[in-house]
């Protein structure tokens, strides 16, 4: 699943880049008409103040290209249309690939071979700090008491699902879930223990 999600991220980034290119080409296409070229050619040269007080005699009055033939204009329009078509095809292919990955991830959880054994979240290991240093604590579900317990060094306290979620989601906080542990929901020996009725100690 992680590889699929990483690949999905790459495809989405490529799709965004392709969409930007498509927008740039779309904005360029209208400007290739003869009237647009003439309008561009008719613009005067703007000189920055204090850097050039007069126009040099050998400086052309209009920016390049000052002349364009119908044949050159036709080639330019043909290239722009072809590039836009290629980008649109790439965009469509990327969108289809993203949709296929989404479907693969969704169907993965409905595969019969993946749902034969029911499981439940049993413990969460939380890390606070940087990659090379920090502090760990754990949340473990007490099935006998049906509540979450927080194990932080020598301190063992009652906790809640809300606190677990708050410490696990990360974001702008330094703490985030480091490891999730699941157990077989059908395996009774993992969630039920026999206790001595007199001492209350597990047998």
pLDDT for the residue 26 = 63
pLDDT for the residue 52 = 47
Q: pLDDT tens, position by position, for the chain (203 residues)?
A: 667 677 777 777 777 777 776 666 566 555 544 445 444 444 444 444 444 455 556 656 666 667 788 888 899 899 999 999 999 999 999 999 999 998 888 887 777 777 778 888 999 999 988 878 889 999 999 888 889 999 999 999 999 999 999 888 876 778 888 899 998 887 766 655 666 667 767 66
CA 150 to each of CA 84, 97, 102, 166: distance values in angstroms, whole numbers, following the listed order? 58, 43, 36, 13
Query: 139: exposed, middle or buried (C-beta count within 10 Å: 0-12, 13-18, 19+)?
Result: buried
Helix (H) or strand (E) holding 189, with range, is: helix 188-191
Q: Output the six-digit token pair for 106.
A: 């969704």
pLDDT for the residue 112 = 79
pLDDT for the residue 146 = 87
Q: How far apart are alpha carbons 12 and 9 in whole angstroms?
A: 5
* DSSP at 198: T
Q: How far apart are alpha carbons 16 and 9 in whole angstroms?
A: 11
pLDDT for the residue 38 = 47
The 10s digit of each residue's pLDDT in 15-54 is 777 777 666 656 655 554 444 544 444 444 444 444 445 5
Contact 117, 184 (CB under 8 A): yes
């Amino acid at each position: 699943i992680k590889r699929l999600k990483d690949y999905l991220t790459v495809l989405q980034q490529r799709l965004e880049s392709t969409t930007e290119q498509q927008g740039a080409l779309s904005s360029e296409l209208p400007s290739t008409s003869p009237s647009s070229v003439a309008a561009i050619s008719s613009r005067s040269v703007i000189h920055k103040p204090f850097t050039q007080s007069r126009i040099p005699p050998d400086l052309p009055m209009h920016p390049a290209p000052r002349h364009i033939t119908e044949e050159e204009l036709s080639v330019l329009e043909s290239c722009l249309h072809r590039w836009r078509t290629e980008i649109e095809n790439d965009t469509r292919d990327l969108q289809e690939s993203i949709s296929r990955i989404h479907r693969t991830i969704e169907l993965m959880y409905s595969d019969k071979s993946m749902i034969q054994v029911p499981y439940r979240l049993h413990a969460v290991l939380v890390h606070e700090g940087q990659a090379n240093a920090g502090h760990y604590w754990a949340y473990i579900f007490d099935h006998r008491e049906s509540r979450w317990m927080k194990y932080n060094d020598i301190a063992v306290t009652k906790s809640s699902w809300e606190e677990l979620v708050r410490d696990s989601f990360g974001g702008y906080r330094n703490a985030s879930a480091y490891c999730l542990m699941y157990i077989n929901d059908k395996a009774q020996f993992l969630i039920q223990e026999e206790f001595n009725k007199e001492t209350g100690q597990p047998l």
